[in-house]
Structure 1
Amino acid sequence: MELMYMYIENYRNTFVEQEFNFSSEYRFKYTKATQELNVEKNNLFIPDFFQRAGELEDGRGRIVNITGIIGKNGAGKTTVLDFIKENLVYGAGGLNQKAIIIIRDERGTQRIFSHVELGISKGNYRYFNLEDPFVYHNDMDTLTQLETNILAETSVIFYSTIFDAKQEFEWMGMRNISTNYLVKQIKRNAVEMKQVDQDFSEIELYRRSEVKKQLEFISSQRSGTVDLPMKMPEYATITPRLLNPVLISKGKQGGQDIGFDSFDAEINFWLRNLEHSMIGDERVKMLFKRAIIGNFVYDLMNFRSIHLSSNYFYEHGLDMKNIQDPFVQIDRFVIIIRDFIESMPILDEGLLELIQNIVQLLNKIDVLISTYSDVVYSSLRLPLVHGLDSAMTILEVLELHNAATLFSEYFEFDWVDLSSGQKALLSMYSSFFSLCDEQERASNMHLSNNLLILIDEGELYLHPEWQRNFLNNLIEYLPKIYKGKNIQIIFTSNSPVIISDLPNSNLIFIDRSEKGCAVIDGLIEHKQTFAANIHTLYSDAFFMEKGLVGEFANKKILNLIRAIHSIVEKEEFIEVEKELDILISQIGEPVLRGKLHSLMKEKREKFIRSDRTNQELMNMIRNMQQEIDQLKQERSK
């Protein structure tokens, strides 16, 4: 399913009677006054423009089309994406605005969806394989709208790294991987699972989730499926994620607490006492063991509803009031848990396998801390690849950690050194990868065969060189992870760096005026965009209507020109001449620098000419005085 065209009557008072052509093959034109829809074929259209030879044969996805929405800040680029999410996504409730939508399905059939007040009574559209419109009414039943889904059999993916606290939603038929949405949703999920309380930082939860997702992505790409356009960091850290033992006293006896509200609180309190009784590397080992066992017991009792009690462990040889021989007691505790699970009326083989993985993880952490010296406080710094000091990589620990967890995570993962640009690029790759069928275990979470990917200013945080490669990276990457799927991309951008990868027919230019936001007919200077010189695109007045020089520098230059012209006295010129020459020499644009040097030269020569004229006058006066004196002498004789 491909989105080809939208006519919007009025959306948020931002776009009023505006058209958006997403098809590079056809140009649609709707005239409201005459209810006329006409179609014009693009004679420069190239089929499969974004397809590489041989990609379909190896099972990759197919890039159907790419459209860039370009505009300045405040022009309404993001608003276009909002309209698509709120009106075309299946679960959002159908077309809620007065609009006309044209789509094309996999069979090539083009369908029109139109609001009843935007009738289509004439035009040449029937000659272009377009069916009669499906008409929406204001009082149409919601279920009927949903049954006539505009983007049928299509998954919409929305990606953005912008974080401005904007309210974001995710409906059926849509996967929202924007920062605004995930920051809130990750917190909601964690609170619902009772992993954190309402006061816990949602930013910290999001950071943890991002790092873990990025590490899992890197781990999955070790086979070289995807060539990442960046150098991966060499190290990452793991830190035990400790539960805070909530101690609720049921009374005191001899000044000592004698009870706990639950066994998981008691076991965590016991583990904390074991850890506090140790020092050095032994204490670090116990911190990791406390994180693993404490979180596992919490999950057993709260999410598997398995009843455990201190009496049961005491009866099987473990006294939790005793903090002697901590590691022996930990081993004993694991054995009792395993025996308990084996004795359950219905054997849970999954839990038994989990216990085996926990034992393996406990042993690996012991060995790592004993043999690897890079332990800072309670964090363990590990390389991403073998051969960098450690026998075990952070990715191997991550895999073992994932295999040993029930619900709650035992460790927190973090990068040692990663720039904001690297994080942004890695976040984008890992976010899209997290939605592929290989990562979604439940089949009902798999994406549809048709994907509409919306990207809002995805080039943010990227160096211009990475911006230059941004679109090419997407074209190479997305078909590899979304195998066998048809992919349409609509992205927004402020940058002319990216649009040199797209022909004019694949671009929508939006500008803002006093009358509101409007689609304009390409670049103001009517330049071609595909393979255009980026400097040429920057120089177009659409992007830089006040020139290519920064405003501060522009003001400095204007003041410099005024200063040169305002000098009328030679003494004043001599006083500022050196300072002005130094400032002019700093200007990078050679033509402008040369013009200003010429201006200074003219001013300098003016004063030189003035001096020469003055000297000639002085010489003339001196000669005349000499002649007068000589005449006086002759008369006196």
Structure 2
Amino acid sequence: MIQKIRFYAYEISHVFGNEEREIELSLGTIKNDFWGENIYMVSAIVGKNGAGKSSILKYIKDNYSVNHSYDSIGNIIYFSPHLDYRDDYNFDVDPTNISLDNILRRDLEDIIDDEKEPNESGWKLNPKQDLEYLNTSRQMDFLSSNIREKHPVFSKIFEGLKFGIGNIVLRGSDKREISKESFHNTPQQFREVISKILEKSEAELDDWSSIRVRENKRLINQHEINAYIFKRNLIISFLSIVVSVMERHNDYLSEGVLDIDDSQDAIDLLRKFVKNAKVHPQGHSSKEAKNVFIPQVLELFEFIYAIVDEIKDKDLISNKSFSTKYKNLEKIKDLQKEISNHLAINYYNRRIKINNFLGIQSTDRKLSSGENALLNFYSVLYELIQKIDLENIQKEYILLLDEADLGYHPEWKKRFVNSIVKSLPLFFNFSNFQSKIQIIFTTHDPLTLSDIPRQNVLFLDKNDEEQTIISEQNIETFGANVNELLADSFFISDGLMGDFAKEKIQDLVSFLTFDVESSDEDQPIGAWDEDSAQQLIELVGEQVIQQRLKSLFDIKFNISEKEALQSKINELQQKLKELNEKDSVR
């Protein structure tokens, strides 16, 4: 674990200068039992913009990591919600860097450059939507995990968020114009079958009205119509991916000819194709033929058919998506993974990236930015932990959280420290060992900082040469009033009022106290008059400032004390009248 950081200024020269002087940073003295079970210490680094908070975290990441390499999981994990577009193109993605930059780079590498089928509105799906599906799949992995379900702390962390229902969305390739003439590498004997299944699917989609049921001129089976359409679109989506894979390259000959029975519907034709499609390498005998598909394909289709047939609410299923429980989403996700892996290896004898024809969304509603930020933090951490080899578990882990509270609602910022000290050790409770953790985070928010004792807060400031220095200010933080923390000049140098309001009020004060007759023509006063001055005074929320402005206003416009009192009486009488009217309505 780390209690002090020592380095020479030139090692972080853009922050501390290019000198050879040694710098020592203390991360605190309050440790162990104070923070709870399995936590060594929690420290905060705060400072003015550009003081080097993030640079210090990255220095720790690069210089204090145990077993740090790009093919193993080290003991220092860095998280940042910022999208800075920072990258090091000389190395592979660092697995313990779970910043948004690194997660985005990795996800983009997993997206195949292949045009997707349009959504229900006819718009082409784009890489941003691919990223969304990858992210929501990661979220669902965490939300459906044992760690989230078994520990009550997560119910408190995600209080107000309703999970348990997610969406399946069709994600096939844009292959709507597949025909016998468009094939190039797809095995010869498969082409007619695939074309026939697609033709059947399209014909049945056009014939959806045949299953429509009306009662007193009212449609009563919209959910069944939606399920009927979804099943056909599912077939098209799946076959588009299959053809996309086959068309890339083909070293195989097809085995046998599949008979086509025009009396069968698209669903039955697909079953027949999946059961009987075989390939064998060129130059090899038919005895070496291999099935193109594994049994999980039909298992997946039958499972989805059963789910959509049970849906009675038309709002839970549409032409290209449906909502279902996490338990079902997990099974669908696992089956699709098996199918894609087998299809890639079966056709190429090497692992290639294949588009998923089903996308997964972790919730049936859009999350707010704050909800997404909170969920993403835990999701990417959970994903990383799953990759740690049991033989490579470290006794101690250090988590570097670079403004992880960014974008949180103030209520969540109040909970931030309490949440992480109670939840993060649970991620490092492995089957054979419980690791201890240290947390070092940066923040700009006094709500978060008020949970950290002053001894564990590193204050960074800047000198006149714009070099970073360690501030000697003695600011009490733990349990401190947030307003008092904000009022300290370390955070805000000239008051707690916004600059726009401050300038407006200062300009009004100048107007109210300025003697026009003896004035300088260049006096910088806005275009004020009695009405505009009175309007601004009524808008001011701070009562002391408002009363002072009223006094200046009375003097400026020669309003006598009697007139001022009468005006106040009239104001109070009007408020009393409004209250009486409200009471009479009740």
The question of whether the paired residues in 2 share the 8 Å contact of 1:450 and 1:485 is answered with yes
Q: Highest CA radius of gyration, 1 or 2?
A: 1
Q: For each residue in 1:247-268, what CA deviation from the matched residue of structure 2 results, as whole angstroms up to 9, or x when unmatched?
A: 899xxxxxx7274223499577
- Tell me what 1:334 maps to: 274
The question of whether the paired residues in 2 share the 8 Å contact of 1:92 and 1:171 is answered with no
> 1:418 aligned to 2:367?
yes
> 1:456 aligned to 2:402?
yes
SS in 2 for 1:487: strand
SS in 1 for 2:468: strand
For normalisation by structure 1, the TM-score amounts to 0.66
Q: Which runs of 4+ in 1 moved over 6 A?
A: 91-94, 169-173, 194-197, 246-249, 296-303, 343-348, 606-609
The question of whether the paired residues in 2 share the 8 Å contact of 1:374 and 1:380 is answered with no
- Tell me what 2:345 maps to: none
- Tell me what 1:490 maps to: 440
Indicate how the Cα distance of structure 1 residues 212 and 454 shifts in structure 2: closer, same or farther if over 3 A, else same.
same
Indicate how the Cα distance of structure 1 residues 243 and 547 shifts in structure 2: closer, same or farther if over 3 A, else same.
same
- Tell me what 1:183 maps to: 104
> 1:284 aligned to 2:226?
no
Indicate how the Cα distance of structure 1 residues 533 and 261 shifts in structure 2: closer, same or farther if over 3 A, else same.
same
Aligned ranges 1:370-381 → 2 under 5 Å: 371-374=312-315, 378-381=319-322
- Tell me what 2:158 maps to: 229
CA distance in 1, matches of 2:331, 2:297: 15
Indicate how the Cα distance of structure 1 residues 218 and 160 shifts in structure 2: closer, same or farther if over 3 A, else same.
same
Indicate how the Cα distance of structure 1 residues 513 and 203 shifts in structure 2: closer, same or farther if over 3 A, else same.
farther
> 1:160 aligned to 2:80?
yes
Question: Structure 1 residue 359: deviation in Å?
Answer: 4.3
- Tell me what 1:2 maps to: 2
CA distance in 1, matches of 2:467, 2:299: 58
- Tell me what 1:581 maps to: 534
- Tell me what 1:32 maps to: none
Which of 446, 465, 474 aligns to 2:411? It is 465
What is the letter of the counterpart of residue 190 of structure 1? I
Aligned ranges 1:58-97 → 2 under 5 Å: 62-89=38-65
SS in 2 for 1:418: coil
Question: Structure 1 residue 560: deviation in Å?
Answer: 0.7
CA distance in 2, matches of 1:578, 1:409: 65
Question: Structure 1 residue 375: deviation in Å?
Answer: 5.7
Higher helix proportion: 2
The question of whether the paired residues in 2 share the 8 Å contact of 1:300 and 1:306 is answered with no
- Tell me what 1:273 maps to: 199
The question of whether the paired residues in 2 share the 8 Å contact of 1:15 and 1:516 is answered with no
> 1:206 aligned to 2:206?
no
- Percent identical: 23
> 1:358 aligned to 2:300?
yes
> 1:502 aligned to 2:422?
no
The question of whether the paired residues in 1 share the 8 Å contact of 2:486 and 2:492 is answered with yes
Q: For each residue in 1:1-34, what CA deviation from the matched residue of structure 2 results, as whole angstroms up to 9, or x when unmatched?
A: 4363232321243223473534423xxxxxxxxx
SS in 1 for 2:412: helix
Aligned ranges 1:552-591 → 2 under 5 Å: 552-566=500-514, 568=516, 576-591=529-544
- Tell me what 1:13 maps to: 14
The question of whether the paired residues in 1 share the 8 Å contact of 2:275 and 2:293 is answered with no
Q: For each residue in 1:104-157, what CA deviation from the matched residue of structure 2 results, as whole angstroms up to 9, or x when unmatched?
A: xxxxxxxxxxxxxxxxxxxxxxxxxxxxxxxxxxxxxxxxxx9xxxxx995221
What is the letter of the counterpart of residue 232 of structure 1? L
What is the letter of the counterpart of residue 262 of structure 1? T
CA distance in 1, matches of 2:65, 2:427: 22
CA distance in 2, matches of 1:595, 1:204: 55
The question of whether the paired residues in 2 share the 8 Å contact of 1:285 and 1:365 is answered with no
What is the letter of the counterpart of residue 199 of structure 2? N
The question of whether the paired residues in 1 share the 8 Å contact of 2:186 and 2:243 is answered with no
CA distance in 2, matches of 1:275, 1:72: 62
CA distance in 2, matches of 1:457, 1:240: 36
Question: Structure 1 residue 74: deviation in Å?
Answer: 1.9
CA distance in 2, matches of 1:536, 1:268: 71
Question: Structure 1 residue 308: deviation in Å?
Answer: 6.6
The question of whether the paired residues in 2 share the 8 Å contact of 1:509 and 1:521 is answered with yes
Question: Structure 1 residue 562: deviation in Å?
Answer: 0.6
Higher mean displacement: 559-568 or 372-381? 372-381
SS in 1 for 2:43: strand
What is the letter of the counterpart of residue 563 of structure 1? F
Which of 25, 28, 52 aligns to 1:24? It is 28
Higher mean displacement: 278-287 or 465-474? 278-287
SS in 1 for 2:400: strand
The question of whether the paired residues in 1 share the 8 Å contact of 2:32 and 2:41 is answered with no
Higher strand proportion: 1
The question of whether the paired residues in 1 share the 8 Å contact of 2:78 and 2:96 is answered with yes
Question: Structure 1 residue 413: deviation in Å?
Answer: 2.6
CA distance in 2, matches of 1:398, 1:162: 30
Q: What is the aligned length? A: 487
- Tell me what 2:477 maps to: 529
- Tell me what 2:576 maps to: none
The question of whether the paired residues in 2 share the 8 Å contact of 1:161 and 1:460 is answered with yes
The question of whether the paired residues in 2 share the 8 Å contact of 1:183 and 1:202 is answered with no
Aligned ranges 1:300-311 → 2 under 5 Å: 307=252, 309=254
SS in 2 for 1:67: strand
Question: Structure 1 residue 301: deviation in Å?
Answer: 9.7
Higher mean displacement: 543-552 or 76-85? 76-85
Instruction: Mark the runs of 5 or more structure 1 residues left unpaired by the alignment.
Output: 26-44, 56-61, 95-145, 147-151, 250-255, 383-391, 570-574, 610-637
SS in 2 for 1:413: strand
CA distance in 2, matches of 1:258, 1:295: 15
- Tell me what 1:612 maps to: none
The question of whether the paired residues in 2 share the 8 Å contact of 1:69 and 1:491 is answered with yes
Which of 511, 528, 531 aligns to 2:461? It is 511
The question of whether the paired residues in 1 share the 8 Å contact of 2:173 and 2:237 is answered with yes
CA distance in 2, matches of 1:157, 1:167: 17
Indicate how the Cα distance of structure 1 residues 338 and 500 shifts in structure 2: closer, same or farther if over 3 A, else same.
farther
